[in-house]
Amino acid sequence: MNLSEQMLEIAKKGRKAARALSCAEGVDRDAAILELASILEEEKDFIFAENKKDLAAAKERGLDDARLQRLEITPAVLEYMINGCREVAAQTDPVGEIENMEKRPNGLMVGRMRIPLGVILMIYESRPNVTVDAAVLCLKAGNAIILRGGSEAIYSNIALASLLHKALDRAGLPVDAAQVIDTTDREAVSSLLKLEAFIDVAIPRGGEGLIRAVVEQATMPVLKHYKGVCHIFVDSSADISKAVDVVKNAKVQKPGVCNALECLLVHEDIAPEFLPALRDLIGDKVKFKACPKSIKYLGESAEPAGVEDWGYEFLDLILAVKVVSSQDEAEDHIAKYGSNHSEVILTENHSHAMKFIKEVDASMVGVNASTRFNDGGQLGLGAEIGISTSKLHSYGAMGARELTSTKFVVLGEWHVRN
């Protein structure tokens, strides 16, 4: 059996499992998720040992510190995975929920029932915790999932797959509801992306190159975000001390993630006080790419910004900084260079905050909060399968509910159409 035939067989198994899973009771799906949480705790030594194999191989290949950090399953990461399982299991079951049941003038009852999407293909890089997050959310929503992680996490992902299968089996659900591709051959992805008859949607999660490659090859719909070019606008009325803390958190806490701050816009009235305060706090950690108006306030850690620095996702301790003359100029900059991911205003002016919320287009628009809150766990979803920056059919962090669709339900009393 060649690789294409193997992928076809996996997709067929996924389709069969999806049908069984869509008919399963919510309590049984929750039982599998809770069983997985317990197994992750029981098998932590096994998980850490397999992850160390990936880390050792990655170091030999010369992966940088940011990618190594994304690859490592630390005790804190494992605890996050376990808690995510329990939070998702505790949520209301979205499958089978009837919405907007209304009586038509002819007496016909018409509503919508929430249903699973079917079979989801998840293609992702580096982070092995995505294996668990994605599988758990798909199970909650009654979907089967085919997981294809990056080659750098192959040992971790295969290990987690074995634990997923154990949890599904103990709960009496088909183990093929969560399958992990155990080959690093890139042709496997190309083959899977041609199987629209068996796979309903593809979700790529990783760098812009990966996502564009998936979009170009996929024959099924793709839920995507190309990059996270996130902005914060510091309004003239902002509290300087609090604003500096928010900017520090957004940029420094975890610079290699999609919800990290990449460009700071500062109102010209507050720039002379705010930018030196920011420089004093993070200037030894962050390199600034500064516009002509801001560079004089940022000292030795700044260099002139080039055209290419606006709209760029650095994924590093680098921050583009621009002084603007008005909120409208800030919003125009965001409209031109943003990626519809996360946009924030820091202000003490209510009308400015409401204007920003109304006029700025992004999957998360925030007021006086770090961009780092655009995350499924932080937004109350328990976990996320990704953040969609396209608006069909979901916009923003995607939890279990966003992995469902609806079908019309019609209840008649022997109605016929005139």
What DSSP assignment string belongs to 281-308?
HHTTT-EEEE-TTTHHHHGGGEEEPPGG
Do 203 and 169 lie in a common domain? yes
Cα–Cα distance for residue pair 167/42, rounded to 1 Å: 12
Report whether pLDDT(224) > 90. Answer: no
pLDDT at residue 301 greater than cutoff 90: no
Residue 126 confidence (pLDDT): 80
Residues 147 and 258 in one domain: no
Q: Examine the pLDDT at 63 and tell me if it is beyond 90.
A: no
237 in the same domain as 120? no
Is residue 173 within 8 Å of residue 29, measured between CB atoms? Answer: yes
Is 239 within the bounds of a domain? Answer: yes
pLDDT digit string (tens) for 251-290? 999 998 899 999 999 999 999 999 999 999 998 999 999 9
Q: Same structural domain for residues 45 and 78?
A: yes
Q: Are residue 219 and residue 281 in the same domain, yes or no? A: no
181 shares a domain with 113 = yes
CB contact burial 382-396 (16+ within 10 A = b; e otherwise): bbbbbbbbbeeebbb
Tell me, yes or no, whether 158 and 300 share the same domain: no
Same domain, 7 and 138: yes
The candidate with the shortest Cα–Cα distance to 44, out of 78, 83, 70, 80, is 78
Per-residue model confidence as pLDDT tens digits over 117-145? 999 999 998 889 999 999 999 999 999 99
Q: Is 178 exposed, middle or buried (0-12, 13-18, 19+ CB in 10 A)?
A: buried
Domain count for the chain: 2
| Number of other residues whose CB lies within 10 A of the CB of residue 34 | 17
Q: Which range has the worst mean pLDDT, 260-274, 360-374, 381-395?
A: 381-395
- Tell me: do 243 and 114 sit in the same domain: no
Range of the domain at 341: 230-373
Indicate the pTM of the whole model: 0.89
* Same domain, yes or no: 117 and 51: yes
Q: Helices marked H in 185-239 — which ranges?
A: 187-192, 208-217
Q: What is the CATH number of the domain that holds 208?
A: 3.40.605.10
